[in-house]
Structure 1
């Protein structure tokens, strides 16, 4: 085991993924979707997100490129699909249904969708991980792969723990803001999520246009 290689890829994984994931933004999504819920629900969702996120990162790293290739899904298409999902989530937060609000106590889990996918493990994160896996496949003979994989998977675990901890801190903020504060905060974050989704969608369109232009 090459400790230096392991540590290098651990740090590259953590430093590369955390800004892309932006756990505080995911915490605001949890905050907006947790009105009427108690602390146990929020902490439970945060822990579940940590587990789901680690699994999603590992699966994307190991077979993400193969799955996209199998279904002929391009990275631009992944961005477009993720953008549409994020816009839909933001729209529901900005204009909640008057009959149901954001969900009564006992609502179904929101840990997988939308918190893990696409909030944390979205198109940008998946594209970054798939690019890393492709790069390692090309230069695998030059590296000590057990150390590389150990560093990457340990980095995934650290990122998942950081995300779970950040999301668990949503409850103190929920209590501090109060009901009126949460209503206002939810709508603000809904608008920002719509903007983020449109940005993903726009990037996907730009990449598709560039691909078409290169073929001409």
Structure 2
């Protein structure tokens, strides 16, 4: 079984990097509210990955986008994400200050912040979706596709564990420890991004392989 998709997804999602955001957004929450937020975020992360694996290629076909072009674009997005991680920032785009204020207001109004912004875009944004679609195209059997969806379950569990243990993790690792892990995952992601772009470019320009 190929575990490269799982390694790539873990590098992109990197739930540990979201721990400081989770603590920020759930300030003032009761223990029960935090538990609901953690569970909702984990389930949503799995659903985004599963939907991308099962429907992503159909959506590309609908819009007439070739997978080779999507691989190059997705690879560039992964490379940008890896550069963010090398600077100890989340792989996915960080909401701007107005979005942070809106998120806080929604939380104060009782709306769940588990889906937006914690899961989308901080955990599973465009980079995650494009990665899943690319690996879904490489699946040659239903078993491989099911395995890709299964990796979504692993990501969901990892997300649940990281957020459920957010406060202990924050105390043990500290900001410095989380930054070091984020940079290491960013380095791995950069190498994977180059590989994805190279495969796409070879499909678009076969002469490059000569």
Instruction: State the TM-score bracket (shorter-chain normalisation).
Output: 0.5 to 0.7
Runs (4+) of structure 1 moved beyond 6 Å?
none
Could you say what secondary structure the match of 1:93 adopts?
Answer: coil
Structure 1: segments with no counterpart, 5+ residues: 1-11, 137-147
C-alpha deviation, 1:49, in angstroms: 0.9
Is this contact kept in 2: 1:86–1:197, CA < 8 A? Answer: yes
The answer as to 2:7 corresponding to 1:26 is no
Is this contact kept in 2: 1:50–1:161, CA < 8 A? Answer: yes
Could you say what secondary structure the match of 1:34 adopts?
Answer: helix
Residues 196 and 64 from structure 1, CA distance in 2 versus in 1: closer, same or farther, beyond 3 angstroms? farther
Residues 62 and 190 from structure 1, CA distance in 2 versus in 1: closer, same or farther, beyond 3 angstroms? same
C-alpha deviation, 1:192, in angstroms: 2.7
Could you say which structure has the larger radius of gyration? 1
Distance 2:148 2:201 in 1: 33
Distance 1:23 1:32 in 2: 17
- Alignment correspondent of 2:49: 53
Write out aligned runs for 1:23-172 (5 A): 26-38=14-26, 39-40=34-35, 41-64=37-60, 67=63, 69=65, 73-88=69-84, 91=87, 93=89, 106=107, 108-117=116-125, 120-123=128-131, 125-132=132-139, 135=140, 148=142, 151=143, 154-172=146-164
Q: TM-score, normalised by structure 1?
A: 0.60
Is this contact kept in 2: 1:42–1:171, CA < 8 A? Answer: yes
Count of equivalent residues: 183
Output one character per residue of 1:44-78: Cα deviation in whole Å (capped at 9) or x when no partner: 21121112221111112444466573597242332
Q: TM-score, normalised by structure 2?
A: 0.61
